[in-house]
Amino acid sequence: MIWDGAEGQIVIFSSFALNQKSFHMNEEYSFGTRVDHPKYGEGIVSKVNLTCYEIFFERAGKMEISKSFKDMDIIEKGEEPAARSGLSLPEIEKALVFVLDRYGAIQENIPLGDRWIGGKLVLQPSNPELKPKEIPVEAFFHKIVMLRDRLRVLEQHINSHSLLSDEDKINIQQYITRIYGSLTTFNVLFNDKEYYFRGVGGKE
């Protein structure tokens, strides 16, 4: 409450307005909320636990952040928690995949093979008068990993599609498996075999 001498009146400030920032810092982040962490950068809340949030960060992958940590900024609010909306588990999983894929957060932290670190990919034209194209191996590997992630998201969308029959899903899945088979050439870039592309029959 402040006395305004010029107008000769008392001005009353709402306690809500004065505490609006503290309210923002104490509110709970909901499913799908985009946040900015001072260390890990942008991320998306994928799960709300009793004492912490499960957040997918673009740079750091999946992390658990305590609810007591208040230094994250909200970039975009998500929907109300799925548990309150009466969604089934498959619907929750489908919504999670959609949100993460929309903001490009479905990226695993996959290590590049040690011998390729700092290397470069050289595309040499047959004409010696033309300059070759050089690409850092790390940049090329990042594109391969993104392609792998998008194929996995596509698989999840197909498997959860409500209008496709089981036969349709199997037929489409065969094409995706063949794509994996065509990409096995790039397995040489991966540091661990668990991340390899595998084609028909699990061949690497």
Which of 53, 50, 51, 49 lies closest to 62 in space, CA to CA? 53
Domain final residue, candidates 27, 62, 84: 84
Q: Which residue has the tokens 């992630």?
A: 149
Q: Tell me if 92 is assigned to some domain.
A: no
> Which of 155-164, 165-174, 182-191 is the least confident region?
155-164
Q: Tell me if 20 is assigned to some domain.
A: yes
Q: 129 CB contacts (<8 Å, ≥6 apart)?
A: none
- Report the alpha-carbon distance of residue 137 to residue 204 in Å, rounded: 21
Do 132 and 188 lie in a common domain?
yes
Higher pLDDT, 192 or 201: 192
Q: Tell me if 108 is assigned to some domain.
A: no
Do 197 and 120 lie in a common domain?
yes
Strand, helix or coil for residue 34: strand
Q: Tell me if 127 is assigned to some domain.
A: yes
User: In the numeric block, which tokens belong to residue 200?
Assistant: 């028909």
Q: Tell me if 91 is assigned to some domain.
A: no
Q: Tell me if 39 is assigned to some domain.
A: yes
Q: Which residue has the tokens 């619907």?
A: 91
Do 79 and 144 lie in a common domain?
no
How high is the pLDDT of residue 77?
Answer: 82
Domain containing residue 46: 2-84
**Do the Cβ atoms of 144 and 113 come closer than 8 Å?**
no
**What is residue 112's DSSP assignment?**
B
Do 72 and 152 lie in a common domain?
no
Q: Is the pLDDT of residue 105 over 60?
A: no
Do 118 and 193 lie in a common domain?
yes
Residues, the chain, total? Answer: 204
- Strand-pairing partners, residue 136, are 120
Q: Helix 137-159 and helix 166-182: axis angle, to 10°?
A: 170
How high is the pLDDT of residue 25?
Answer: 43
Do 187 and 123 lie in a common domain?
yes
Do 80 and 124 lie in a common domain?
no
Do 118 and 197 lie in a common domain?
yes
Do 125 and 191 lie in a common domain?
yes
Do 78 and 157 lie in a common domain?
no
How high is the pLDDT of residue 80?
Answer: 55
Do 131 and 80 lie in a common domain?
no
Higher pLDDT, 100 or 154: 154
Q: Tell me if 105 is assigned to some domain.
A: no
Domain count, the chain: 2
> Which of 55-69, 91-105, 116-130, 172-186 is the least confident region?
91-105
pTM above threshold 0.75: no
- pLDDT tens-digit readout, 82-98: 444 455 666 666 666 66
Q: What is the CATH number of the domain that holds 46?
A: 2.30.30
Give Cα separations from 83 to 79, 87, 89 (angstroms). Answer: 11, 7, 9
Q: Tell me if 93 is assigned to some domain.
A: no
Tally of CB atoms within 10 A around 166: 8
Segment (H or E) for 144? helix 137-159
Do 59 and 124 lie in a common domain?
no
**Do the Cβ atoms of 72 and 89 come closer than 8 Å?**
no
